[in-house]
Amino acid sequence: MLSQTSEYALRAMVHLAALEDGGAMNSETIAARTKVPQGYLSKVLRDLVVADLIASQRGPNGGFALARPADKITMLDVINAVDPMMRIRRCPLGNPEHVKLCPLHQRIDDAIEQIETQFRKTSLSEVLESSRKPGERCVTLMTPTVRSRKA
């Protein structure tokens, strides 16, 4: 149901929400820790900056950081910034006789509305808190496994 772009944006945002004291992180590190391809992540981060969900700062101590507290950013904010969910407003078949949505498309749209409602109610801080519970570890909070090479 969610696009890969939305998934990647959510991973990056939850990872940034987990940083201590609103710290910043460079895109290379975010990409490695969230398992998102670097080039793809750069596009996603740009969209998140344009939407004022994250701020970027250049330089040796720069990087990306949340633009506001994690409890003020919802999952829906993130999704809408990168790839909004498409609602069904009129007949997808283009039938002019369908003034109202048919039962099939109405139910699909109702389901999308329920998903949007849940995402609107869920802040990044709630996702982060859930990942801190025993047995519920979010991939964005996992440190990458570093394997040493033997010569």
Judge whether 109 lies within some domain: no
Q: What is the mean pLDDT of each run of 10 residues along the chain (151 residues)?
A: 93 93 89 95 97 91 92 97 90 74 88 96 93 57 37 33
Residues 11 and 18: their CA atoms lie apart, in Å, by 11
The whole-number pLDDT of residue 143 equals 41
pTM reported for the whole predicted model: 0.81
Q: Where residue 28 sits, what CATH number does that domain have?
A: 1.10.10.10
Judge whether 106 lies within some domain: no
Structural domains counted in the chain: 1
Concatenating the DSSP letter of every residue in 27-93 gives: HHHHHHHHT--HHHHHHHHHHHHHTTSEEEE-STT-EEEESS-GGG-BHHHHHHHHSPPPP--S-TT
Structure tokens at 88: 């069904």
22: left (phi over 0), alpha (psi -120 to 50) or beta: left
Residues 35 and 41: their CA atoms lie apart, in Å, by 10
Judge whether 55 lies within some domain: yes
